[in-house]
Structure 1
């Protein structure tokens, strides 16, 4: 075979380093693209912001710390609860006679909050205190004392390195609305366009019901309109002051004491339970109507008989179902449309029903189990639940009976509607309650309109760019082979 011509050898010698150079450039380009994509999508250290809300309830105060990524401040579903602390002792309204102690009662929990939040974030962390029904009652009873208590807690909170944003008494309507916002925000119902969940809240001095109604809300004071993430919500809400479980017990006892008998046989307490009670404790509440006659004696003896059915009859007497000037009412002449959709029942609704193991029972099952529980002898109950303070343990029979009466007879959750109630404490690690909704509202973290978003998420954009870059590189490589490639020697035959 004849040796290759000199010209062909020279072309091959010239093309080989060029092809190698182009190939190296393509490989380097691919590596650079992939490396850029990986680095771009690498998880970065997150920077968080914080907020503190104090729930100054009638029976106690709780401090909640919330956290959210600083760079995504207005994105839904980003705020979460990171810590909670229950203040020892009663609510701030109990400090009416010693107002200077009201602020100091918060010290242990606020010191905890100071340690939980990074020091560099202290100065920008807002602190809100919202007082509920206990302070509403004190305001009705003694406005000066209520203002002094709020001033005491305000002065105390200003002493911390946080951004103090106020301490005030929130209305019952606000409490209901913020609770509704909280459960739907945590359930991600707003931005995913799901049906919203109604909110049922029960405290020591008040109870709230809030839900979206498809019917016209006849009473303007019970109607709220929200525009959240581009959607409109017409919400019904009402707060019943004096119908929290503690005040309801006082109302029930006051009714029974109208007989004038110092020895009260009470079916809402276990058989064998006996306790000396103060008349002042019952009739000293502004919730107890002045139309009821107050006994002349200072104390009375409460003897438990443990009969849930009789207890329910006594409880129903504190509701007025006879007068209604609207198309329909719940009780006490208050307008309420028919309950619609699913409901989340939290706060005391959950704690009482959870203790009684009734959170997943039907209405009929709940009544049956409650009858069995209330009929248990007091000594047996104390032995079974020795870790629970007797004051609270003694009232579970009444509280459970009251909850069933309130939900069934007050709010009209009949047997078929009962399954729509979900008793819950937390949603995704955050407590269900009004505090998160309160902070979200005050910090404007829920936009009225849905936030704009690019057509593709960032990771999707990078992936597509890398894919097209690889395809382009492959095409360039193929083109280089076609342009610079030559027929092999075997394909070129020369005659000798």
Structure 2
């Protein structure tokens, strides 16, 4: 049984003065939480193995798995090898099946979550990836456990809080590297403990989504195809036909991220276009470095402040600053007119911690889009063209042969109130938005109380007009998706399962494991 542990950690360290004791205590909490989660998970795995062995049944291998998330985290991985023999194959006939397990722990500000995955021994075919699926409890639910309280941002002391932050992060990593082996018999590689960036997390999310959709398989039947420029070991570019992958756009509350495969090679001037070059990520998911079928080049970009909630805060600040009357908005009797709120809604903002601000809805969707357009920052100077927002380079997208999935706010804006989640049509979406925004708030509230919006809470209903306009504006005016584009889908789950970046991280970390089985079992058979 092969066991992998992966931990993620809050990356932010505040500059609030504190003593070193704060870091030490937080560090102890880290180790306690990680150890408790791993102990629980290993005990659960042993119980499930024993149960499956007693009833002569092999856990089902879920060929479709998934994920979702946006903020950078901190990852550690450790491994050991062993095996577990099970007594039946998927068809119930006697056989010996060996399963391996991967444990992923995501330690965040709201809590620490553990995800457990399993996979059978690799076939030895180097053209195949591991068949990783989420381990399920006896109830059939996936194994996802959470421990609270969360691991909040650390407070560090020092004249240079950047150096103090780096020192505290290094201390956490070092403590995990030394403590994990004390409590668990894992073979730990130090370079498997690292702070991952938003770019890495975007790559992991993209891997997971496409793995679930079976886009990494070699068969080309029943799948859209694409010709991709793939770089070989010699540096030459070779056109390669394979299954078309999907792009991923995830808009959260604070930020937004886009990741998609770049099918045409792009050249950069390293002296002038270094920032644009940094948005590209190239990796190979195959166990052989010369495997062109699993060599991918992605464009990954994160837009901080472009999440729906952050955009709303920026918009409110813009309205207050643009007002001719400096006192307008700070009294219920003189609210700021806001076309992005339902008609007649008196909205009290909680974003200003110093003083409440008030806005009155005008219910004008078209005017709302015009008002919030400046928030896209599309006029910022561009280092390398084409650019999307904030002067950030965006690689070309083949809108004639591509497909994109939108998560989080894309799903909420289409589904919670409008109930049209799934296949996106710009004209239909805007038509519904115009009607919704122009509806008097008293009527919307009446419908809400009658439970005509079962998926929406009251705050979502109040801000739906703004968030719908923002989602549409970002997609078409920011990311430059044509309004006639018909291959964008909003989704919350894939095949009925939640999507987490953790699956992609595990797939990437275990990509070389099949090489051992290929060399030991089949030699050069699969390469003939």
TM range (shorter): 0.5 to 0.7
The answer (yes or no) to whether the contact 1:311–1:398 under 8 Å persists in 2 is: yes
- The Cα shift of 1:98 comes to 9.9
1:211 aligns with 2:278: no
**1:291 matched residue in structure 2:** none
Unaligned runs of 5+ in 1: 1-37, 100-138, 282-296, 458-496
Deviation, 1:423, is 2.0
**Which stretch shifts more, 44-53 or 158-167?**
158-167
Aligned to 1:183: 209
**Which of residues 378, 391, 397 in structure 2 aligns to 1:333?**
391
Partner in structure 1 of residue 244 of structure 2: 195
Deviation at 1:333, TM superposition (A): 0.7
Q: For residues 302 and 150 of structure 1, what CA distance do their matches in structure 2 show?
A: 45
Q: Aligned ranges for residues 428-467 of structure 1 at < 5 Å? A: 428-444=495-511
Map 1:410-425 to 2 at 5 A.
410-417=478-485, 419-425=486-492
Corresponding residue for residue 394 of structure 1: 462
List per-residue Cα deviations over 1:353-399 (Å, max 9, x = no partner): 22233332411111111122223324135323367432344333322
Q: Is 1:303 matched with 2:360? A: yes
**What are the within-5 Å matches in structure 2 for residues 24-423 of structure 1?**
42-44=93-95, 46=97, 48-54=99-105, 63=113, 65-72=115-122, 76=129, 78-81=131-134, 82=136, 83=142, 95-96=152-153, 143=165, 170-192=196-218, 193-213=242-262, 214-216=264-266, 218=268, 219-229=276-286, 230-231=291-292, 232-258=295-321, 259=323, 260=326, 261-262=328-329, 263-278=335-350, 280-281=352-353, 298-322=355-379, 323-340=381-398, 341-355=402-416, 356-358=418-420, 359-376=422-439, 377=441, 378-383=444-449, 384-385=452-453, 388-417=456-485, 419-423=486-490
Task: Identify if the C-alpha distance between structure 1 residues 71 and 329 changes in structure 2 by more than 3 Å, giving closer, same or farther.
Answer: same
Q: Contact between 1:208 and 1:238, CA under 8 Å: does it hold in 2? A: yes
Q: Provide the rounded CA distance (Å) in 1 between the counterparts of 2:356 and 2:343.
A: 20
With over 3 angstroms needed to count, the CA separation of the structure-2 counterparts of 1:343 and 1:279, relative to structure 1, is closer
CA shift at 1:445, angstroms?
Answer: 6.2
Q: 1:388 to 1:430 in 2, by over 3 A?
A: closer
Give 1:41 deviation, angstroms.
9.1
Q: Is the 8 A contact 1:268 1:305 kept in 2?
A: yes
Please say which of residues 402-411 and 424-433 is displaced more in the overlay.
424-433
| Residue in 2 that maps onto 1:466 | none
Q: How far apart, CA to CA, are the structure 1 residues paired with 2:193 and 2:316?
A: 34
CA contact (8 A) 2:404 2:487 kept: yes
Pair 1:47–1:449, CA change in 2 (3 A) = closer
Partner of 2:36: none
Q: 1:390/1:49 Cα in 2 relative to 1: closer, same or farther (>3 Å)?
A: farther
Instruction: Tell me if structure 2 keeps the 8 A contact 1:182–1:434.
Output: yes
Shift of 1:329: 0.5
Q: Is the 8 A contact 2:247 2:258 kept in 1?
A: yes
The answer to whether the 8 A contact 1:270-1:306 is kept is yes
Q: Size of the alignment, in residue pairs?
A: 357
Gaps of 5+ in 2: 1-88, 137-141, 219-241, 269-275, 330-334
TM value normalised by structure 2: 0.57
Measure how far apart 1:298 and its partner are: 1.9
1:229-252 Cα offsets, whole Å, 9 max, x none, are 322222212111221222122111
SS in 2 for 1:240: strand
Deviation (angstroms), 1:437: 0.8
**Structure-2 change in CA distance of 1:385 and 1:190 (3 Å):** same
Cα deviation, residue 406, structure 1: 0.9
Shift of 1:268: 2.3
CA distance in 2, matches of 1:400, 1:88: 34
TM-score (norm: length of structure 1): 0.60
Separation in structure 1 between the aligned mates of residue 483 and residue 475 of structure 2, nearest angstrom:
11
Show the counterpart of 1:426. Answer: 493
How far does the alpha carbon of each residue in 1:263-305 deviate from its partner, in whole angstroms, 9 at most, with x for none? 2222222234334334544xxxxxxxxxxxxxxx622113333
**Counterparts in 2 of 1:54 and 1:69: CA distance versus 1, 3 Å:** closer
